Each structure stands twice: as C-alpha cells, then as structure tokens.
C-alpha cells in the first residue's frame, strides 16, 4: 500500500500534525482525487474545535480542487483525468429536498466533508463520486477551491435568499472576512449598492477595493442601524446579510431594514434577537437564513468565475503542511481574504 502525507487532527481542539497515511482505495460509488489546491477560512477553526460534531482523528479540508486519479465500481459522473472541485455537504440525493433542488436541507444529511469523513488536507481525498464536480476550462485549481464555499455560499444567498436586485442597497456585516469579501463581489455582480460593515479599517479598505460603496466601522460607529438609515435617506437597506451570526450583529441587520427588507444570516453565531410581530406585520420584513449552496449553484459559481466576473481574494498562501500558520493568522484577525494551500 502506498502512503501519502496528511495533516491529521488527533483530537478536536488540538492542532493538526503531518502524518503518514495509507492512500485510500475508492469503493463502489466513490472516487479518489489528487488534491492540487485548497482554501482555508474561519469555519475550519470551528470544526477543529469540535463544534461541527464528527469523530477524530480526522483529516480536515473541504474547499478543494484537483484531479481524479481513480474511480470505484459503478461511477459514471467522473473519470480518471477529470479536473474536479469538491462539494462540501454529504447528502442522500434521494429525499424530497435533494430531489427538489435544495439539497443543503437534506433529511438524511450525512454531515460535512472534512468533519464526518476525511477531507483534503492530504495528498489524496476519497469521497462519494457525487461530491466531485468538473472544473470548467479557464478556471485554475485555486479559484475552483475558493468557489466551493467562500463564493458559492454567496451565490445562493444573494440570488435565492437576499433576492438582490440592481435597485437594492444591501448591507454586508463582516464584509471583510473570507466569505464576506466574495459576497461584496457577488452582490456587486447583481447590481446592488453595497454598505460594508466590519471591525477594522484594513478589512473595510479591502471591501472598498472589491466594490463596497459605503463602509461602517463598528468600532467607531456602534449604532449600525442608525448609520444605515443615514446612508439611505432615512429608509434603511433592502437586504442585510450577516456573516457573523451573533445576536448583536443579526439584531442590527434586522433593525437596519427598510419596509419589505430581507435580513439573512449566513454566519454560525449564537444568541437570540428580538422582533416585534406587529411591526413585522406592518412592514412585511423577512427574516431568514442561507445555507451553503446546491451543486447546481456551485457549477454556476465556477462558470461565472471562469468568465472572470468574480475573483478569488487570497490573503495568504502556504504549503498544506503549514496550515496551522494560516489558523494563527485567522485567530489574530490578520488574514485578509481567504487562505490558500499548495500541494507541490
Ligand atoms: Zn437528501
């Protein structure tokens, strides 16, 4: 049996270490990918702390691009030599939500790549073949890896949940983070005027660079809703997307809405917000969540990126065996954009 290098988390809460592992053999319905690039964001740190469940030891890593090198029996959708990106969710592909094109709500949800089965912070990753989608020509492995979480999550959110139109003003809370900075680009692509909210001028400068029209630094301007109203002639924003997901941030998202506005939470935070039902009835405000993206939306995201309409924003790049240095940068709130891993 040939061996590969892998970054393994022995127990949740511990750092990953470089270890030798056997290269997995794809079983029926599975395929093996030689990993060429991976993306790294804050979600991985939460996973590594055990907050997504799953059992350790575990090889993490779900934002991946590479080449199929072997397929198991019965696999028809991919073959050796195909360039592929990885779909993050382990779905049943049979239930009403999967069949109805909303597979992130799967009734028999099997968990996450890199949490409930081994991911791609290793030379190779073996997954259900249905989790591999072809990378279009003109899109490199790194951009494809970014597409699979940092970008497609926004594609689903802006089109299906926040329902952005060109006449909308949209507020993005946490716009300078690894997902948010791609959300700025996607919202811009849908034609919206963008108010970026974050905690540092560096992150807000980055948001401006990628298309934000106005910025709010919550350290200097804690009353975000008042500032949002000031920037919209007293009306409020048509949509507010919260990448942080804490009670305080989502409350300010809701409080910033104009009549008929949509507050959408993407981030996995904690706490409850307060909503007045009478005011909600009178204003028809919408409060909802946005959960990752479907496979179709990931395909669309990669095609749009291949046309150069959304670009990967990489703040730090290192070999996959040095992933802990990116985690350190995220913990210190120093990482601007997404981290990227190389494999050569
Ligand atoms: Zn399902």
Q: What average pLDDT score do residues 102-110 get?
A: 97
Q: How far is the CA of 314 from the centre of ligand 1 (A)?
A: 33
Cα(90) to ligand 1 centroid in Å equals 9
How many Cβ atoms from other residues are within 10 Å of residue 328's Cβ?
A: 12
End-to-end Cα separation, the chain, in angstroms: 21
CA distance 331 to 45: 9
Per-residue pLDDT tens digits for 64-97: 999 999 999 999 999 999 999 999 999 999 999 9
What would the pLDDT profile of 254-263 be if each residue is shown by its tens digit? 999 999 999 9
CA distance 249 to 267: 10
pLDDT, averaged across the chain: 97
- How are beta strands 169-173 and 193-198 bridged, if at all? parallel
In angstroms, rounded to a whole number, what is the distance separating the alpha carbons of residues 103 and 304? 21
Whole-number Å distance, alpha carbon 292 to ligand 1 midpoint, is 15
Cα(110) to centroid(ligand 1), Å: 9
Look at residue 268 in the predicted model and tell me its pLDDT. Answer: 85
1 pLDDT more than 80: no
Ligand 1 centroid vs 275 CA: distance in angstroms? 32
pLDDT-derived band at 116 (thresholds 50, 70, 90) equals very high
- What is the distance in A from the centroid of ligand 1 to the CA of 102? 9
Q: What are residue 304's DSSP bridge partners?
A: none
* Cα-to-centroid distance, 92 and ligand 1 (Å): 4
Contacts of 192 (CB under 8 A, 6+ apart): 158, 164, 165, 166, 168, 169, 170, 238, 239
- Rounded CA-CA distance 139/66 in Å is 12
- The DSSP 8-state label assigned to residue 117 in this structure reads B
**pLDDT category of residue 269 using cuts at 50, 70 and 90:** confident
Closest CA to 34 of 91, 98, 89, 80: 80
Helices (H) and strands (E) in the chain, counts: 11, 16
**Where does the pLDDT of residue 195 fall: very low under 50, low under 70, confident under 90, or very high at 90 and above?**
very high
pLDDT of residue 270: 86
Measure the CA–CA gap between 248 and 298, rounded to whole angstroms.
31
**Cβ pair 79, 26 in contact under 8 A:** no
Which residues have C-beta under 5 Å from ligand 1, the single-atom ion? 91-92, 95, 98, 106
What backbone phi and psi angles, to 5 degrees, belong to 203?
Answer: -65, -35
Residue 7 alpha carbon to ligand 1 centre in Å = 30
- For residue 128, how far is its CA from the centre of ligand 1 (angstroms)? 14
Q: Give domain limits for the chain.
A: 3-151+293-342, 163-289
Sign of CA dihedral 84, 132, 23, 124: positive
Q: How confident is the model over 161-190, as a mean pLDDT?
A: 97
Angle, in degrees to the nearest 10, between helices 180-189 and 201-209:
30
What is the CB neighbour count within 10 angstroms for residue 141? Answer: 22
294 CA to centre of ligand 1 in angstroms: 12
Domain 3-151+293-342 superfamily per CATH: Medium-chain alcohol dehydrogenases, catalytic domain (3.90.180.10)
CA 156, CA 152: separation in Å to the nearest integer?
6
Tell whether domain 163-289 is in CATH 3.40.50.300: no
CA 211–ligand 1 middle distance (angstroms): 37
Task: Provide the whole-model pTM.
Answer: 0.96
* Eight-state DSSP code of residue 21: E
Task: Compute the distance from residue 106 Cα to the ligand 1 centre, in Å.
Answer: 4
Res 89: pLDDT = 98
Ligand 1 mean position, distance from CA 51 (Å): 22
pLDDT tens per residue, range 6-63: 999 999 999 999 999 999 999 999 999 999 999 999 999 999 999 999 999 999 999 9
Q: Are 145 and 340 in contact (CB under 8 A)?
A: yes
Beta carbons of 241 and 267 less than 8 angstroms apart: no
């Amino acid at each position: 049996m040939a061996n590969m290098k892998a970054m393994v988390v022995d127990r949740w809460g511990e750092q990953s270490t470089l270890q030798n592992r056997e290269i997995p053999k794809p079983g029926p319905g599975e395929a093996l990918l030689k990993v060429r690039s991976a993306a790294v964001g804050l979600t991985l740190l939460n996973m590594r702390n055990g907050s997504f469940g799953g059992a350790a030891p575990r090889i993490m890593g779900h934002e991946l691009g590479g080449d199929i090198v072997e397929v198991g029996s019965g696999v028809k959708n991919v073959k050796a030599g195909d360039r592929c990106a990885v779909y993050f969710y382990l779905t049943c592909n049979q239930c009403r939500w999967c069949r109805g094109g909303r597979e992130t709500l799967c009734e028999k949800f099997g968990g996450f790549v890199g949490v409930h089965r081994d991911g791609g912070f290793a030379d190779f990753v073996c997954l259900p073949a249905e989790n591999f989608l072809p990378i279009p020509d003109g899109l490199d492995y790194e951009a494809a890896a970014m597409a699979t979480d940092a970008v497609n999550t926004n594609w689903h959110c802006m089109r299906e949940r926040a329902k952005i139109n060109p006449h909308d003003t949209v507020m993005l809370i946490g716009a300078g983070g690894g997902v948010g900075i791609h959300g700025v680009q996607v919202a811009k692509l849908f034609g919206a005027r963008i108010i970026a909210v974050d905690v540092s001028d560096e992150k807000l400068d980055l948001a401006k660079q990628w298309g934000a029209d106005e910025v709010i630094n919550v350290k200097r301007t804690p009353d975000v809703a008042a500032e949002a109203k000031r920037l919209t002639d007293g009306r409020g924003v048509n949509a507010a997307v919260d990448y942080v997901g804490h009670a305080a941030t989502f409350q300010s998202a809701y409080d910033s809405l104009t009549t008929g506005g949509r507050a959408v939470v993407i981030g996995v935070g904690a706490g409850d917000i307060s909503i007045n039902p009478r005011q909600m009835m009178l204003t028809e405000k919408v409060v909802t969540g946005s959960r990752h993206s479907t496979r179709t939306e990931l395909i669309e995201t990669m095609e749009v990126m291949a046309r150069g309409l959304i670009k990967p924003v990489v703040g730090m790049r290192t070999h996959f065996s040095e992933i802990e240095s990116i985690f350190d940068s995220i913990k210190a709130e120093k990482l601007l954009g997404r981290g990227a891993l190389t494999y050569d």
